[in-house]
Amino acid sequence: MFSVDEATAQGRFKAFNEELNHEQCLEDRFYTIRKADDEARVEIKQLLGELEIAHVKSLPRSQRNAILRRVKHIKGLSQRQAARISGVSANLIFKA
């Protein structure tokens, strides 16, 4: 690939791998910073408006799922964290 001669190919391969570059790997693009529970709780309260967080689990299924779908899309909030804060099971969040 780098040369027909094995010694030359090894030298070029080594130089190629030691070369500095400024490429961003795919993993860097998908790295997100998670919110602390307090920050997440504030955002969920803003999303709910007048409704208390504890009342979400007692709502009718259609209303509850609509709210949980909106909560799932809060940036930096994991679904498990949303389940913990809202008091519903993680499976309800996943299925909403």
pLDDT at 2: 79
Containing 6, the helix (H) or strand (E) segment is: helix 6-18
Q: What is the pLDDT of residue 80?
A: 93
- Let me know: does 19 contact 2? Beta carbons within 8 Å: no
Rounded to whole angstroms, the Cα distance separating 67 from 72 reads 9
Q: How far apart are the C-alpha atoms of 91 and 78, rounded to whole Å?
A: 13
In order along its 96 residues, the chain shows pLDDT tens digits of 778 889 999 999 999 888 887 776 665 556 668 889 999 999 999 999 898 998 998 999 999 999 999 999 998 899 999 999 999 999 999 998
